[in-house]
Amino acid sequence: PKVSEEAIRLRAKLVSDLRQIGEIRGEYRLTDAAMDWYERWYTEVFKPESIASQSLDGYYGRRHDTLLKVAMCVSASRSDETVIDEDDLVVALRCLSKAEEFLQQTTRLIQMTEVGKEEQKVYGVIERKGVVDYSTLLRNVSYCINAKRLQEIIDTLIGEEKIEEFISNGKRHYRLKGG
């Protein structure tokens, strides 16, 4: 697609603004009003212990720091002064709140990716070995997957028709489906 003149102009302005922001030096400080707002928010509103999802505990435990960092960015986008005012904090909180609407879903996607990695490890062992008995398979993945989880993964791979289970010499064995 062709880039419009307006997009080219905006890009040049953005690059210029980012260069200016990159030159800002010094410690940021909060105005008295901003400090009052932040302390009130921190003591009355900010309740990380009330978050139901354990997977988000770490994020919410650092949310107050993240708020200040985003407020610094907001301040830097408005002025070269290293001062955070109440409006900067309010805008930063709005930004965080909007991003947090998607946090649960994003975390779930990341965790699903972890499940996919485990499945791929098990599949990879079976693929490399051609045929593998259960005990050998467990030994190959026990550093990262316990026996209960391994069985869940095996059931999933069988259900997806990626592998098949068969009995040989009284032991369970696995191979790629059609292999």
Domain positions in the chain: 26-101, 114-176
Write the pLDDT tens digit of every residue in 78-108: 999 999 999 999 999 999 999 999 988 888 7
Residues 6+ apart with CB under 8 A from 17: 77
**pLDDT grade for 178, boundaries at 50, 70 and 90:** confident
Percent of the chain with pLDDT over 70: 98
Task: Measure the CA–CA gap between 5 and 21, rounded to whole angstroms.
Answer: 24
pLDDT of residue 50: 72
Q: Does domain 114-176 have CATH number 1.10.10.10?
A: yes
Q: What share of the chain is helix, strand, coil (3-state, %, to 5)?
A: 70, 10, 20
pLDDT of 57 > 90? The answer is no
Amino acid (1-letter code) at residue 103: L
Write the pLDDT tens digit of every residue in 108-137: 777 767 788 899 999 999 999 999 999 999
Write the pLDDT tens digit of every residue in 13-30: 999 999 999 999 999 999
Q: Which residue has the higher pLDDT, 169 or 179?
A: 169
Pairing of strands 171-176, 163-168: antiparallel
